[in-house]
Chain A
Amino acid sequence: MKDRKWIALSAVALAVLVMMNLPDATSQRVKGAVRDGISPLQAALRGGVREMQDIFRYMRGWRDLALENRALTEEIVYLRGEMRMARDLERNNQMLRELLGFVRRSPNRLVSCEVIGRDSTGWWQTIRLDQGAHSGVMDERAVITADGLVGRTVAVSARTADALLLSDPTCKVAVRLSRSGVFGVMSGVGAKPGEQPVARIDFLLKDADVQEGDEIVTSGLGGLFPKGLLVGHVRNVELDEAGLYQTAWLNSAADLGRLEYAFVVATEQDLEQAVMEDSSVDMGLVDGRAAEGETP
């Protein structure tokens, strides 16, 4: 009887040890398969919750609908005019580029994704996206919104991807201050979703030109994030106790607490690989470019 107990205990210990020491690729494959299996359920539940939120929002705001409608009509008229002007400018720009023999600097494309979940364990600051390797999303790619950079992909399965947010302490981004050109490495401070500041830049020289409100963009160094993506703004600057370095605390441009949609910056190779893996896949691609100055 005692022998059987020990055999059972050893079997359990062995099972756990095997699970903990599986090769990375196998472990990722197992995790990916389970995640893909549960993601439709997750997306459906998330969709239901969002519908309910929309209904409550609508019920709360129905009195202001007439006023809002009027304001939106005015905005449409204004934006249509702006759009016409922008089209003219784009045509001129294209023509001038052709005359100068310009080529697009970055071959990056955007894959649009819906946020279907947040980190449920609380150990990291992550979001789950509803597109994965089948749509051209790969590991270690920048994730952005219309407002700016939000993080990078860290675990990609066939149909989902987890993105590590800027606010996570393990998320490091090589950045540059737009105004003064000062370089630095930004790291998250573990802020809760929606809380500011989300990150900081340590070890800035004490005489570096950093001011409150300065715009922070990606520097492109390290190759992970394309150059020129808007990250956020300097909230405040502190001198360290020894008076040798400055620390800049940053607010993110994108609201990390209210993410509903995001874009993954994919390369042409990523998309080709996805097409090769699944030729009939719906890519969910946005007709946008991640070239410098064309993304946030």
Chain B
Amino acid sequence: MTLLVMIFWILAGATLQVVIPAWQHMGQPAFPFLLAGVLYVAVNKKPIYFVLTALLSGLLEDSLSLVPLGYSACAFLVAGWLAWRLRHDFHMRRAHMVMGLGAICAAASTGTLALLLRLQGSVMLSRNECLLRMAGAAVLAAVLVPVWFWLIRGMERLLGTWEDRA
């Protein structure tokens, strides 16, 4: 059941991410629907679910954009690992803590992807542009991640799959 719920949210995130274009400010970061799902699983579920979610979300994000296959999965794994490490330092019941965690992980994910894309040579971004974009991603994640967490948790409670691990 947990896997089905995760697949549902990954598909919902991917669809929303494709329909909603990137934010036009602060370096044009994407709305991190998929990342929010990965962070939720990293914080609340067993590591195996987190790894599967990160790989699947990465595969979807790369397939729906020009990012080479595997790059987003790498970025999601880094962000998810960070969330997993920090899950006891942030109180997950408080919205501002989730906002903080989302912002840090989104910045890490964007930074990783920017680094990979620059190494591969498919984007031309200066260091300042990368930093601005990381800041933009952090702002978006701070807004979106708590909402996404609340929605997934609500669904899990309805279905009876919610387990408090945080």
Interface residues of chain A, those whose CB is within 8 Å of chain B, are: 8, 12, 15-22, 27, 30-35, 38, 41-42, 45-46, 49, 117-124, 126, 128, 154-155, 162, 164, 169-170, 192-193
Contacts and interface: CB of A to CB of B under 8 A. Distances in A.
9 A-B pairs with least C-beta separation = A122-B22, A19-B70, A20-B70, A34-B63, A122-B28, A118-B21, A31-B63, A121-B65, A27-B69
Contacts of A31: 62-63, 69
B20 interface: yes
Given A34-B59, A193-B21, A121 B67 contact: yes
Contact of B117 (A21, A123, A126): A123
A162 B66 contact: yes
A121 B70 CA distance: 15
Given A122-B22, A122-B23, A15 B55 contact: yes
A49 B16 CA distance: 12
A243 to B, nearest CB: 26
A32 B64 CA distance: 9
Given A34-B64, A121-B67, A193-B24, 11 more contacts: A27-B69, A38-B63, A38-B64, A118-B21, A119-B21, A120-B18, A120-B64, A121-B65, A122-B22, A124-B66, A164-B66
B30 interface: yes
Contact of A35 (B58, B64, B67): B64
Given A38-B15, A120-B18, A20 B27 contact: no
A143 to B, nearest CB: 15
14 contacts: A8-B51, A18-B70, A20-B74, A21-B70, A22-B69, A27-B68, A30-B69, A42-B18, A120-B20, A120-B21, A120-B30, A122-B133, A124-B66, A193-B21
A123 B66 contact: yes
B1 interface: no
A20 B59 contact: no
Report the contact-size class of chain B (Cβ under 8 Å from the partner): 35 or more
Contact of A122 (B30, B48, B51): B30
Nearest to A128: B18
Contacts of B65: 119-121, 123-124, 126
A162 B62 CA distance: 13
A181 to B, nearest CB: 30
Interface string B61-97: 1111111111101100100000000000000000000
A116 to B, nearest CB: 9
Contacts of A122: 22-23, 27-30, 133
A284 B11 CA distance: 29
Contacts of A170: 122-124
B123 A124 contact: yes
A38 B70 CA distance: 19
Nearest to B17: A120
A23 to B, nearest CB: 11
B15 A20 contact: no
Nearest to A127: B21
A41 B60 CA distance: 14
A19 B69 contact: yes
B14 interface: yes
A128 B73 CA distance: 22
Nearest to A13: B77
Contacts of A45: 15, 19
B24 A192 contact: yes
A41 B64 CA distance: 13
A131 B55 CA distance: 28
B18 A38 contact: yes
A126 B66 contact: yes
Nearest to A19: B70
A192 B28 contact: yes
A19 B67 contact: no
A191 to B, nearest CB: 11
Nearest to A192: B24
A126 B30 CA distance: 13
Contacts of A120: 17-22, 30-31, 64-65
B69 to A, nearest CB: 5
